[in-house]
Chains A and B, each alone.
Chain A
Amino acid sequence: MIQTKYKLFLLVVPFMVFTFIFAYLPLWGWLYAFVDYRAGRSIFEMDYVGFKWFSMLVYSEQQIYEILRVLKNTLGISFLSLLFSFLPMAFAILLYEIRSIRMRKIVQTLTTIPHFISWVLVYSVVFSLLAVDSGVVNNLLIDLGLIQKPINFLASSDHIWLKMVGLEIWKGLGWGAILYLAAINGISQDLYEAARIDGAGRFRCVWHITIPGLLPTFFVLLLLAVANMINTGMDQFFVFSNAMNKSSIEVLDLYTYNIGLLKGNFSLATVISILKTIVSLTLLFSVNRLSKTLRGESIF
């Protein structure tokens, strides 16, 4: 009879094997960055080329320009969304100032809907609202005499970062506010009572009690967002990219997909994945250290 402690361990072993295959084995695939990839061969039969692909990243002026462009897009979009990251907090504070509980519930219900819609659907919705020939937005603008000719909003790279961040905000604002609303509910009512007795009005209560009460939450989320600056994901940018806006919408994740799977340069794409993982782990640990120094608490 095996001892209980080993039996318990043996029960999770199958899942550890599974995780090894799907999460750790791909790390072995990092070796593709050091060889000349050839389809249909084992990695041991490919030529070892050392750091050739790493130097390829900055080999030609054109390649450097490409990388800088992609990094600029990634960081630009991330930075813009960091700039607006106070919005969910503001949304929650304003919503809390609505005294009618029923109204609050309605607002919450309706504004969380976009969070559960995939980016393809968002694209479809935006596409039909902004369509050049039949979209309601162009038609209304023309009827109101604000524009002469329909605008093709999606097929241009003007303000594309802002448009992307705007859509992100539309999708995530109501959802993001839930965490802050829960945090507001956690603030002791005694504080408000005391402030009111001292003659503080509504605005002063918000300024001196609610906002300071929410800042720790805001701070943690901000740090996590900073740590994730280069992990923008690719769904959104994949569906919204087209020939006209491609150069300013291509973020790192999308670029990796494009050169890897579309252009078939597996080794170069792997190099980018490796560098990305290293940078994002470094960011995560530095942000965590920062949090430890500033707040005396780690964030994960």
Chain B
Amino acid sequence: MSDTKMNIKLNKGSKLQGDKKENLSPSEKVFNVFNYLFFISFMLLCVYPFYYIFINTISDNVLSARGMIRFIPQGIHFGNYIQVLQIPNIYHALMISVLRTVIGTLLTVLVSGFLGFMMTQRKMWMRTFVYRYFITTMYVGGGIIPVYLLFNQLGLLDNFLVYIIPGMVSAFNMILVKTYVENSIPHELQESAEMDGAGIGTVFFKIAFPLMMPILATLAIFSAVGQWNSFMDTVIYVTKEDLHTLQYVLYRYLSQATALANIVNSGTVSGEEVSANMQTAQSIKLTVTMIVVIPIFLVYPFFQRFFVKGIMIGAVKG
């Protein structure tokens, strides 16, 4: 049954590509079936975990805690989301995550845009040295302790700025902008503007910046995802609770959940006390997970078209 279905699909596909060879050899047919099976299973492996968590957050919490929700949600309610967002430190962590994502992304995109553009200015004094000076930072680093002690001296520990300042100048992003400007913005544009008396500032803001939008959008998307997902910086540099990000709060819930589960198992707290929309350790964990995942899923369709561009320019030599 499913084989014939797949063959129909395949034939349709080959017509789409204008492939004239319609009759496949038996070995090719077998190959096609297995190929489709492989990709369908791998897709399920990529999607099902998120689906599983989602249906567990909207289902009856008692059934969920017993592991009864596997494929179909039951007793649908949205109480988990409403209650979890009311937990003060989760709401606060969400704000910190949003702030660092927005400010951090804006800063690094502006700085990379400017530096990348400046690196295309052939007239600059010592340009090769300046370029190498930035590039070297990609290969040499001080290591965790020297950086930690430096941040300590700069007063960046337990400071919101530690999320947005150190990553502001990124040599990698600079290369991407430089390559883009060199390949897609004709130098004559700048020359003719300079003839009319425009300074470097005018050239950058009025001419180059608007034309750089495609590459800046790509950078913005990737650095926003990076900021949102960033986690180790909180672990290393932050102890103050009101600077914890959502990722970190989720991590803490996860490590505590083991302890909570142990209490439940040892019988001090009985699992039966849980009612349908009362919070359990698990429901909080899963709901926070969904809250962290959802923004990524929301922007995902928009930035998908940047993937190939992003990865290809990354492959171009600096």
List chain A positions with a Cβ less than 8 A from chain B.
Answer: 4-9, 11-12, 15-16, 18-19, 21-30, 32, 94-95, 97-103, 106-107, 109-114, 116-121, 123-129, 131-136, 138-140, 170, 173-174, 178-179, 182, 201-203, 234-235, 238-239, 242, 253, 256-257, 260-261, 266, 269-270, 272-274, 276-277, 281, 284, 300
Contact = CB atoms under 8 A, between A and B. Distances in A.
Contact of A18 (B130, B168, B232): B168
A5 B118 CA distance: 11
A167 to B, nearest CB: 11
B80 to A, nearest CB: 14
A179 B316 CA distance: 12
B143 A178 contact: no
Nearest to B282: A134
B46 A170 contact: yes
Given A12-B130, A118-B231, A139-B70, 6 more contacts: A12-B115, A113-B47, A118-B247, A134-B64, A203-B31, A273-B143
Given A128-B286, A179-B311, A202-B28, A117 B296 contact: yes
Contact of A266 (B118, B149, B165, B292): B149
Nearest to A6: B125
Interface of B: 9-10, 12-14, 16-17, 19, 25, 27-28, 31-32, 35-36, 38-39, 42-43, 45-47, 49-50, 52-53, 56, 64-67, 70, 111, 115, 118, 121, 123-126, 130, 133-134, 137, 139-150, 154, 165-166, 168-169, 200, 225, 228-232, 235-236, 247-248, 250-251, 254, 257-258, 261, 264-265, 282, 285-286, 289, 292-293, 296-297, 300, 304, 307-308, 311-312, 315, 317-318
Contacts of A182: 308, 311-312
Given A124-B285, A128-B285, A238-B232, A178 B308 contact: yes
Contacts of B124: 5, 8-9, 12
Nearest to A233: B232
A269 B144 CA distance: 8
8 contacts: A22-B150, A23-B142, A26-B146, A94-B35, A116-B229, A120-B251, A132-B261, A276-B143
A124 B125 contact: no
A158 to B, nearest CB: 18
A16 B125 CA distance: 14
Contacts of A24: 137
Contacts of B19: 99
A99 B10 contact: yes
A151 B120 CA distance: 58
Contact of B150 (A9, A26, A127): A26
A109 B274 CA distance: 38
Nearest to B168: A18
Nearest to B140: A277
Contacts of B200: 4, 7-8, 11
A261 B46 contact: no
Contacts of A239: 231, 251, 254
Closest 10 CB pairs of A and B: A26-B142, A273-B143, A29-B146, A100-B13, A134-B67, A118-B229, A99-B13, A23-B137, A8-B124, A26-B146
B150 A25 contact: yes
Given A16-B130, A119-B231, A133-B261, A100 B254 contact: no
B14 A99 contact: yes
A38 B315 CA distance: 44
A236 B59 CA distance: 30
Contacts of B65: 134
B62 to A, nearest CB: 11
Contact of A29 (B12, B66, B147): B147
Nearest to A111: B46
Contact of A123 (B28, B56, B254): B254
B17 A15 contact: no
A170 B64 CA distance: 26
A101 B53 contact: no
Contact of A277 (B137, B141, B307): B141
Name the residue in A95, A124, A257, A276 with the highest tally of chain B Cβ atoms < 10 Å from its Cβ.
Answer: A124
Contacts of A15: 111, 115, 169
